[in-house]
Amino acid sequence: MAFRNTPDSFGLITRVLHWAMALLVLTMLALGLRISDMEPGLSNLWLYGLHKTLGFGVLTLIVLRLGWHLISPVPKPIGPPGLAQLAARAGHILFYVLLIAIPISGWAGSSATGIDVMIADRWVVQPIAEVSEAGEAFWFSVHEVLTKILIGLIIVHMLAALKRELAGDGTLRRMIRGRV
């Protein structure tokens, strides 16, 4: 079992990063949707802290994944070049942009509240936005819009992977097993 990618297969590290991020992002979305309907209070404040901690986890993993792809480039796409490959490439780039921008906008919105932003209820991180109600509203609006775009992109990504698998091209198998 290869740790690195080859021109035709995904290595173990890429696959673990992919599926760990998928699980973490889906967990974050579920948690984010849950807390967006809550009024913050002492009994549920820990959920907000958990969301922030996991958000920093997403940000860390996406930076690691980008670094890993510099060391171990992804395999070439399956199938002939064309519009589908171009759309898939654009979708993957959008994933990277969103998975960086969403945690940063949440961090900025949390910073603008004036309340310490903490990881695991233990480490305070530097604020990245001035304390202001207008800044808080702006950054959390950006966070919400980008998250809705991410949800749509995830749905399209999953449907495209399923379509390709049903067509028998092996793309999904390659992300699960590493090779077709």
Say if residue 102 is exposed, middle or buried (CB neighbours under 10 Å; 0-12, 13-18, 19+).
buried
For the chain, give the mean pLDDT. Answer: 94
Q: For residue 81, what pLDDT is reported?
A: 87
Q: Is 89 within a domain?
A: yes
Q: Which of the two residues, 78 and 128, has the higher pLDDT score?
A: 128
Q: For residue 180, what pLDDT is reported?
A: 74
Q: Is 136 within a domain?
A: yes
In the predicted structure, residue 139 carries a pLDDT above the cut 80: yes
Alpha helix ranges (H) inside 72-177: 83-113, 133-166, 171-177
The domain total for the chain is 1
Q: Is 28 within a domain?
A: yes
Q: Is 2 within a domain?
A: no
Q: pTM for the whole thing?
A: 0.92
CATH code for position 30: 1.20.950.20
In the predicted structure, residue 97 carries a pLDDT above the cut 90: yes
Q: Is 121 within a domain?
A: yes
Q: Is 5 within a domain?
A: no
Average pLDDT for 35-64: 93
Average pLDDT for 136-151: 98
Q: Is 134 within a domain?
A: yes
pLDDT tens-digit map of 100-123 = 999 999 999 999 999 999 999 899
In the predicted structure, residue 40 carries a pLDDT above the cut 80: yes
Domain enclosing residue 140, as ranges: 12-177
Cβ(98)–Cβ(149) under 8 Å? yes
Q: Is 1 within a domain?
A: no
Average pLDDT for 28-54: 92
Q: For residue 21, what pLDDT is reported?
A: 97
**Do the bridges between strand 117-119 and strand 123-125 make them parallel or antiparallel, or are there none, so unpaired?**
antiparallel
